[in-house]
């Protein structure tokens, strides 16, 4: 297929645009009338406005918008409209039942698999997808795991008959588990043989790993030059996959959590000239100045989590977004576990409870992930020309009690039915 040979970003972008068009061609025109619209754009929150959706895009937003003839009208009185939420990290579509290995396709064997694509293994009929979107999440990154270079993430619309229709970015970035100097337990078989690595052992491993990654990137640079100067150079698919990385065209999601690991990762990325996005970032606030200075955005893992250290403040993880905002670091909040993606708004809700403003909290699950994933031109805000990913709710998007009334993904009014609603209806009616 033509798709397989795409390796340059402009072509990729064009292709994605085509995909977008294909997915939405022929979808009806909608007008959401008289709703409170949170544009998250320059026009801010409009207390009573209309959003027009046509051809999969937002055609118009405002209080004096002309509704096109033939548009299906949704009465938005008492309702609110938000940009669809974007979950910037998950394994959705790659796993179904955690404890059943047969349903897990996220983690491949081997340390260096830069050429593997999450795109390949997405299961469009996963029950997790409707469950996630029913709560207003319209797009999610889905990432491979395992090894050091795990493969490439895919940015998905949470709707579509096939993965081709779902993919927003087929190759959204390379996932790198950065070698850690911090302590991890090594299991030597049985439970009782678990032991700790000494620091020297860790350091040796760390240095070897970092050298390996560096060597691989150097090989990719060399390969890239060789391929350009001599197109008959034998194809190496791993190195081929790394070309956009070494050319700084493809983002690298570098996973690191402790302050030192993050520092090391940043140093490494600077030295190797990588387009780095930090992922994880548990202790990101301790190196916030560095992240700010190097302009490295962060995709945080779930902040609704226990403190790492016994002597951390009880709210250490809840307050991380606040600390990053204060330092001026860009970040996205995520709900990474596939079955939990629906809880993304509450990540933002907790971040607000512990210090973010409402706007900052909303942006952390809409505008920010769009920017960090490089799709801010298309997604994240309610503006004319943007892809029509919208959540229509009966209240504050981040509040638990709020119900999503309508959901638009690429202009399509998507069903809110899920495995859960089906079982609910079935058993509620059990005599």
Partner 1 sequence: MKKTALMATIVLASCAAWLLASEPQRSPASGVLIIKDAFILPVSRPALPKGSVLIREGKIAEIGPQVATPEGATVIDAKGQYVMPGIIDCHSHIAISGGVNEGTLAVTAMVGIEDVIDPEDINIYRSLAGGVTTANILHGSANPIGGRNQVIKLRWGKDAKGLIFEGAKPGIKFALGENPKRSRATPGTSPARYPQTRMGVEDVIRDALIEARTYTEKWDEYKKRALAADKPAIPPAKDLKLETLAEILRGERLVHAHCYRADEILMLLRVADEFGFKIATFQHVLEGYKVAKEIAEHGAGASTFSDWWAYKVEAYDAIPYNAAIMTRKGVVVSINSDSAEEARHLNQEAAKCMKYGGLSEQEALALVTLNPAKQLRIDNRVGSIEPGKDADLVIYNRHPLSVYAVAQKVFIDGQVYFDIQKDLEMRERLEKERASLKEKDKKERERERRPEGRRTPPTDVTTTAVEPPDEP
Partner 2 sequence: MRFLSFRKLFLRSRIALILVLLALFAAVSARTEEPAVFAISGARIFPVSGAPLEKGTVILRNGIIEAVGANVPIPPDARTLDGTGLTVYPGLIDGLCDAGLEEPRAPQAPGPPSARPGPPAAPAQPTQQAPAPPAAERPLLNSHVQAADLINPTNRKIESARAVGITTALVAPRTGIFEGQSSLVNLSGASVGAMVVKTPVAMHISLQSAGGFGGGYPSSLMGVVAFVKQTFLDAERYDVAWNIYNVHTGVVRPDYNHSLQALIPVLKRELPAVVPGDTPAQIQRAMELAQSFKLKCILSGGSEAARIAPLLKEKGVPVLLSMKFPERDRDSDPELEEELPVLRRRVEAPVNAAALAKAGVQFAFQSGDISSPRDFMRNIARSVEAGLPKDIAMRALTLTAAEIFGVAGKLGSIEKGKTANLTIATGDIFDSRTRVKYVFIDGKKYDITEPEPE
Shortest Å, Cβ 424 to partner 1: 4
- For residue 349, the partner it binds in partner 2, partner 1, none, with Cβ less than 5 to 8 A by kind, is partner 1
Task: Considering the complex, state which of residue 336 and residue 411 has its C-beta at the smaller distance from partner 1.
Answer: 336
* Selection from 55, 50, 82 nearest residue 66 by Cα: 50
Helices (H), 252-319: 259-272, 288-293
Shortest Å, Cβ 277 to partner 2: 25
- For residue 183, the partner it binds in partner 2, partner 1, none, with Cβ less than 5 to 8 A by kind, is partner 2
Residues numbered 152 to 181 that lie near partner 2 (CB under 8 A) are 181
Integer Cα distance of 284 and 266 in angstroms: 12
Question: Of 3, 66, 196, 208, which one interacts with partner 2 (CB under 8 A)?
Answer: 196
Q: Report if residue 30 touches partner 1, rule: CB under 8 A.
A: no
Residue pair 113/105 in contact (Cβ under 8 Å)? The answer is no
Question: Of 47, 232, 234, 430, which one interacts with partner 1 (CB under 8 A)?
Answer: 430
- For residue 182, the partner it binds in partner 2, partner 1, none, with Cβ less than 5 to 8 A by kind, is partner 2
Q: Report if residue 97 touches partner 1, rule: CB under 8 A.
A: yes
Residue pair 200/178 in contact (Cβ under 8 Å)? The answer is no
Residue pair 338/350 in contact (Cβ under 8 Å)? The answer is no
Q: Report if residue 182 touches partner 2, rule: CB under 8 A.
A: yes
- For residue 128, the partner it binds in partner 2, partner 1, none, with Cβ less than 5 to 8 A by kind, is partner 1
Shortest Å, Cβ 260 to partner 2: 6
State the DSSP string of 189-258.
SSGGG-EEPPHHHHHHHHHHHHHHHHHHHHHHHHHHHHHHH-TTSPP-HHHHHHHHHHTT-SEEEEEE-S
Shortest Å, Cβ 287 to partner 2: 13
- For residue 181, the partner it binds in partner 1, partner 2, none, with Cβ less than 5 to 8 A by kind, is partner 2
- For residue 1, the partner it binds in partner 1, partner 2, none, with Cβ less than 5 to 8 A by kind, is none
Q: Report if residue 187 touches partner 2, rule: CB under 8 A.
A: no
- For residue 307, the partner it binds in partner 1, partner 2, none, with Cβ less than 5 to 8 A by kind, is partner 1
- Which DSSP symbol is given to 145? B
Give the list of residues 6+ apart from residue 106 with CB closer than 8 angstroms, or none: 91, 94, 95, 118, 121, 143, 144, 145, 146
Q: Report if residue 196 touches partner 1, rule: CB under 8 A.
A: no
Shortest Å, Cβ 98 to partner 1: 4
Give the range of 49-57, 104-112, 264-272, 343-351 binding partner 1 by CB under 8 A: 343-351
Question: Of 226, 304, 327, 416, which one interacts with partner 1 (CB under 8 A)?
Answer: 304
Task: Considering the complex, state which of residue 257 and residue 347 has its C-beta at the smaller distance from partner 2.
Answer: 257
Task: Considering the complex, state which of residue 309 and residue 426 has its C-beta at the smaller distance from partner 2.
Answer: 309
Annotate 62-91 with b (16+ C-beta within 10 A) or e (fewer): eeebeeeeebeebebeebbbbbbbbbbbbb
CA angle 145, 143, 268 (to 5 degrees): 70
| Tokens linked to 270 | 């600077």
Question: Of 114, 349, 369, 411, which one interacts with partner 1 (CB under 8 A)?
Answer: 349
Residues numbered 239 to 278 that lie near partner 2 (CB under 8 A) are 260
State the DSSP string of 329-352.
--EE----SGGGGGGHHHHHHHHH
Shortest Å, Cβ 19 to partner 1: 28
Q: How many CA atoms does the CB half-sphere of 94 hold within 13 Å?
A: 29
Q: Report if residue 286 touches partner 2, rule: CB under 8 A.
A: no
- For residue 125, the partner it binds in partner 1, partner 2, none, with Cβ less than 5 to 8 A by kind, is none
State the DSSP string of 33-69.
EEEEEE--STT-EEEEEEEEEETTEEEEEETTPPPPT
State the DSSP string of 68-93.
PTTPEEEE-TT-EEEEPEEE-S--BT
Integer Cα distance of 175 and 276 in angstroms: 10
Distance of CA 166 to the CA centre of its chain: 14
Q: Which residues bind partner 2 (CB under 8 A)?
A: 181-183, 190-193, 195-202, 260, 309-311
Q: Which residues bind partner 1 (CB under 8 A)?
A: 96-100, 127-128, 189-191, 304-307, 310-311, 313-315, 338-339, 342-343, 345-346, 349-350, 352-354, 398-403, 419-421, 423-424, 427-428, 430
């Amino acid at each position: 297929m033509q798709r397989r040979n795409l390796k340059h970003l402009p072509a990729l972008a064009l292709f994605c645009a085509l995909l977008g068009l294909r997915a939405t061609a022929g979808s009806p025109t909608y007008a959401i009338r008289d709703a409170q619209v949170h544009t998250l754009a320059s026009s801010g929150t409009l207390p009573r406005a209309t959003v027009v959706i046509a051809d999969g895009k937002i055609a118009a937003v405002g209080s004096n918008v002309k509704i096109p003839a033939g548009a299906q009208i949704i009465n938005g009185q008492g309702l609110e409209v938000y940009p669809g939420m974007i979950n910037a990290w998950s394994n959705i579509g790659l796993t179904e039942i955690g404890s059943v290995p047969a349903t897990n396709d996220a983690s491949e064997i081997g340390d260096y698999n830069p050429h593997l694509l999450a795109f390949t293994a997405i299961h469009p009929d996963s029950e997790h997808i409707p469950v996630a979107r029913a709560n207003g999440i319209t797009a999610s990154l889905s990432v491979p795991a395992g090894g050091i270079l795990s493969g490439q993430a895919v940015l998905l619309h949470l709707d579509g008959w096939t993965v081709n229709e779902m993919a927003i970015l087929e190759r959204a970035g390379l996932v790198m588990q950065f070698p850690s100097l911090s302590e991890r337990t090594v299991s030597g078989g049985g439970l009782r043989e678990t032991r700790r690595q000494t620091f020297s052992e860790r350091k040796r491993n760390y240095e070897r790993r970092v050298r390996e990654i560096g060597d691989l990137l150097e090989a990719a640079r060399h390969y890239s030059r060789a391929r350009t100067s001599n197109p008959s150079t034998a194809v190496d698919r791993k190195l081929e996959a790394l070309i956009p990385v070494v050319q700084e065209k493809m983002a690298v999601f570098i996973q690191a959590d402790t302050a030192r690991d993050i520092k090391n990762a940043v140093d490494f990325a600077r030295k190797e000239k990588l387009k780095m996005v930090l992922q994880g970032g548990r202790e990101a606030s301790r190196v916030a100045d560095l992240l700010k200075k190097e302009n490295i955005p962060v995709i945080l893992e779930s902040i609704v989590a226990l403190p790492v250290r016994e002597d951390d403040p009880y709210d250490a993880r809840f307050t991380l977004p606040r600390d990053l905002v204060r330092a001026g670091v860009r970040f996205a909040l995520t709900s990474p576990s596939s079955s939990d993606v629906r809880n993304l708004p509450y990540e933002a809700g907790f971040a607000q409870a512990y210090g973010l403003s409402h706007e900052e909290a909303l942006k952390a699950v809409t505008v920010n992930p769009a920017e960090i994933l490089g799709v801010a031109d298309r997604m994240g805000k309610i503006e004319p020309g943007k892809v029509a990913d919208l959540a229509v709710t009966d209240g504050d998007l981040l509040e638990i009690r709020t119900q999503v009334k309508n959901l638009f993904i690429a202009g399509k009014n998507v069903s809110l039915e899920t495995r859960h609603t089906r079982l609910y209806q079935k058993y509620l009616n059990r005599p």
